[in-house]
Amino acid sequence: MASLGDRQCALARRIAQGLAQAGFEVLNRVALNQILVRAHTDELTVAACEAVQVAGEAWFGATVW
């Protein structure tokens, strides 16, 4: 189980790096398998989330506050 957790955390860091390179702001220190990011606007954040879900490669949950 430890190797599964390590793999998930490594993948989260990799995704966060890719999102940052694409212009998203990473809002948390990626220590677990969760990433908090935002685009320049709430609308772009939601649209990016929806695009990932439609692609079926990952699941991103969106929130706006």
Q: What is the pLDDT of residues 11-57, one digit of tens each?
A: 999 999 999 999 999 999 999 889 999 999 989 998 999 999 999 98
Number of domains in the chain: 1
- Is 9 within the bounds of a domain? yes
The pTM score is 0.82
Contact (Cβ atoms closer than 8 angstroms) between residue 49 and residue 36:
no
What range defines the domain where residue 23 resides? 2-55
pLDDT at 65: 66
- Is 40 within the bounds of a domain? yes
- Is 45 within the bounds of a domain? yes
| CA distance linking residue 28 with residue 48, whole number of Å | 18
Q: Which pLDDT band holds residue 62 (cuts at 50, 70, 90)?
A: confident
Q: Which long-range contacts (CB under 8 A, 24 or more apart) does 39-45 make?
A: none
| CA distance linking residue 52 with residue 49, whole number of Å | 5
Tokens of 26: 């990473």
- Is 61 within the bounds of a domain? no
Q: By C-alpha distance, which of 6, 26, 4 is closest to 15?
A: 26
pLDDT at 7: 92
